[in-house]
Structure 1
Amino acid sequence: MTNMTHARAILDRLIAFDTTSRNSNLALIEWVESYLSEYGVTGHRVANEDGTKSNLFATIGPMVEGGVILSGHTDVVPVDNQDWSSDPWITREESGKLYGRGTADMKSFIALALAWVPEFAKGAKPIHLAISYDEEIGCLGAPAMIEQMRTSVRAPRLAVVGEPTSMRLVTGHKGISVYKVEVQGAEAHSSLVNHGISANEHAVDLMHSLVELSRELKAKADPDNGFDPPYPTLTIGVMQGGEAANILAGHAQFQFDLRCPPGFAPDELLAPFKALCEALDKELSARFPQAGASFEKLADAPPLSDDGSDDAIAFVQRLTGENMPPAKVSYGAEAGQFQQGGFPTVICGPGSIEQAHQPNEWIALEQLEQGTRFMERLAQELA
């Protein structure tokens, strides 16, 4: 069996696990552990608090310095209400493409890394697999694994996070912070506005202030920073509130994310908004004891920069054979967390982000072939 064929078989198996972020990923983790054990490799779990999900990291080859981390996340986004033309949990090949949820983002990279375990095991330098959970909902799983790897893995040369980049080298991504705002009002008949508090009304005011902030950030952008778009983006993705048109809304909540290039501090940008929420909380609770407002950070992942990554960049350029300047991307990823953990880090993986999260998600077979050549050259570098 060729490595390409082996990777395809592993990908079929990985896609079959419904690892949507709301679900457990333990069945997939158990399968990977069993696969690694066939080659004498022991994985180390780093579970979440209730044990329903887990990261997994493992060293293939000798425990010496100078190895390479290959990192990927196991979770995928939902397929709910998407118009798929085939079962999203079964890979389907058609016209040079493989269809299935996670083919592009990012089980193909994990499959390629696993397919090359037998070759990596022969190397003089190790490969450190790092497989995470809950990347899609705020990069929540990886930090605990990275913290353990800092003390148990001997000084890797670099980390490669295999997000879909069409095998192009990426040296920068935006950070992402996710927040939830809740407003508790006081229900009353909508004709008696002085007898209650509309949570919706105050939530709209708060959202308006965020829209104004978003416009300010856009106006102050550095157009030459390499990101598209170049400015920090603030988007309100969830809005909920009220029960009926003729009732003052008793409760409203919304969630938003802020995605910043390196050099921005999200907490500083949002400090005036946080103060606004605190002032509103005091104002509303003074009128009705049950009323108020809260502001909560749900997730916070740092950006990736190219600082201190010259050796990592040159190393991966040899593997890809790429002569183009490294790119930057506007999506968030775990690469910034690996860099924050002290590992020189880049992003490079098969598939395109344009196919990720879509119905009929797909990866071109040609991308798997490029990924196979990448792993082959990596094994040669570590031999």
Structure 2
Amino acid sequence: MSRSRELLETLVGFDTTSRESNLQLIEFVRDYLAGFGVASELVYNAERSKANLFASVGPVDLPGIVLSGHTDVVPVDGQPWTLPPFELTERDGKLFGRGTADMKGYIACVLALLPELVKAQLRLPVHIALSYDEEVGCLGVRSLLAVLEQRPVKPMLCIIGEPTELKPVLGHKGKLAMRCDVHGEACHSAYAPSGVNAIEHAAELIGELGRIGQRLHKRQDPRFDPPFSTVQTGLITGGKALNIVPADCRFDFEVRALPSMDPGEVAEALQAYAMQQVLPRMQAVSKQSSIRFTELSAYPGLVTDERSQAAELIAAFSGSREFGTVAFGTEGGLFDAVGIPTVVCGPGSMDQGHKPDEFVSLEQLDGCDAMLRRMLDSIQV
């Protein structure tokens, strides 16, 4: 049994679904690192129910390499799992369990490297960064980055180990998630014109959102798939009964934006339409009508230059210069925004992430171990 597989078995055993605490996992990692003489810095949330972890090996007064991963996983509720999600199961060269691909497999490989790291004579430091609540909007890492941003020496590279089948990824889209609350006036449906139907006006806004999305097709970047920014409405609730004109309706929508685009453009365009076109007609019937927009989460896109030092390093570590992009988001844009050049490269495939019977192959874990050892070889004295 490889050290990575053994550690992955332990990590999968912690239920770190985003709604739960991640402290048991973080405390395990802290104690594991301490066993090798490596101190950890924990950055807690306000309730101290979750924490980020940051640890360093090597000369911390020099720029180094951050190995970054998120500890939270998505829920298993309602998914048809045929295997226990929080126990590691091995079958046919695959390791099954929630988070094996996204992204505890990478974290296990990073931790498995530690005995070699602490024995090596490093000319540059290696930092381990573990965050919470990535799956619900890249929330936890922000407090960690606020701490790192104040330090005089910033890392030269961050490798985020999201599952890319160990292919080096230099870009992904940004995301903005928004909520719109439409409040109208209820009345008996027999007298519908006397009320303000919140669902119908919400539908009008959703229709306009679709038209805004269509216009985004004209601004394309062939490096991405799809090659344009996208908009979609994912949730809608409203109404009490068919014979009551609904007073309230809520819908949530998201923008997946090319790195060159500010996703706030979409929200601003929809808000302008709401205030100029829809709300006046609502308030002509009832002055109490309102439309309110609330940001739920946001993170920036990532685009790292193929000619950069970061790109050269990940090409050397991964053994490939076939740089790509991914459709899903990561914490990479946030690292990049504080001046830490970032790439994405990790074991497994996002085709397995978030699905029942999620898995990572032993071959991918072995490949990640090899990639990290090449990194280690490159920074030894």
TM-score class, shorter: over 0.9
- Residue number in structure 2 paired with 1:10: 7
1:102-121 equivalence runs, <5 A: 102-121=99-118
**RMSD (Å), alpha carbons:** 1.7
Q: TM-score, structure 2 length as denominator?
A: 0.94
Which of residues 53, 56, 59 in structure 2 aligns to 1:56? 53
Which of residues 310, 319, 322 in structure 1 aligns to 2:320? 322
Aligned-residue sequence identity (percent) comes to 40
Matched, 1:125 2:121: no
Contact 2:176/2:264 (8 A) holds in 1: no
Secondary structure of the residue that 1:192 maps to in structure 2?
Answer: helix
Amino acid at match of 1:310: S
Per the alignment, do residues 283 and 32 of structure 1 end up closer, same or farther by CA in structure 2, a change over 3 Å counting?
A: farther
Q: Deviations over 1:160-192 (max 9, x none)?
A: 011100000000110111111111222222111
- Residue number in structure 2 paired with 1:140: 139
Q: What number of residue pairs does the alignment pair up?
A: 377
Per the alignment, do residues 174 and 37 of structure 1 end up closer, same or farther by CA in structure 2, a change over 3 Å counting?
A: same
Amino acid at match of 1:306: T
Contact 1:309/1:345 (8 A) holds in 2: no
Deviation at 1:101, TM superposition (A): 0.7
**In structure 2, distance between residues paired with 1:96 and 1:327:** 27
Secondary structure of the residue that 1:152 maps to in structure 2?
Answer: coil
Deviation at 1:287, TM superposition (A): 4.3
Which of residues 282, 292, 295 in structure 1 aligns to 2:293? 295
Gaps of 5+ in 1: none
- Residue number in structure 2 paired with 1:347: 344
Q: TM-score, structure 1 length as denominator?
A: 0.94
Amino acid at match of 2:237: Q
Deviation at 1:39, TM superposition (A): 1.4
Secondary structure of the residue that 1:82 maps to in structure 2?
Answer: coil
Q: Deviations over 1:286-313 (max 9, x none)?
A: 6445431101111111111124861111
- Residue number in structure 2 paired with 1:78: 75
Deviation at 1:136, TM superposition (A): 1.1
Secondary structure of the residue that 1:143 maps to in structure 2?
Answer: helix
- Residue number in structure 1 paired with 2:246: 249
Which of residues 247, 251, 261 in structure 2 aligns to 1:264? 261
Gaps of 5+ in 2: none
**In structure 2, distance between residues paired with 1:134 and 1:11:** 19
Matched, 1:310 2:318: no
Matched, 1:187 2:191: no
**In structure 2, distance between residues paired with 1:252 and 1:105:** 34
Which has the higher mean CA deviation after the structures are superposed, 142-151 or 96-105? 142-151
**In structure 2, distance between residues paired with 1:341 and 1:88:** 36
Contact 2:55/2:128 (8 A) holds in 1: yes
Matched, 1:230 2:227: yes
**In structure 2, distance between residues paired with 1:165 and 1:204:** 37
Matched, 1:65 2:62: yes
Amino acid at match of 1:70: L
**In structure 1, distance between residues paired with 2:36 and 2:8:** 18
Contact 1:240/1:254 (8 A) holds in 2: yes
Deviation at 1:284, TM superposition (A): 3.9
Deviation at 1:153, TM superposition (A): 6.8
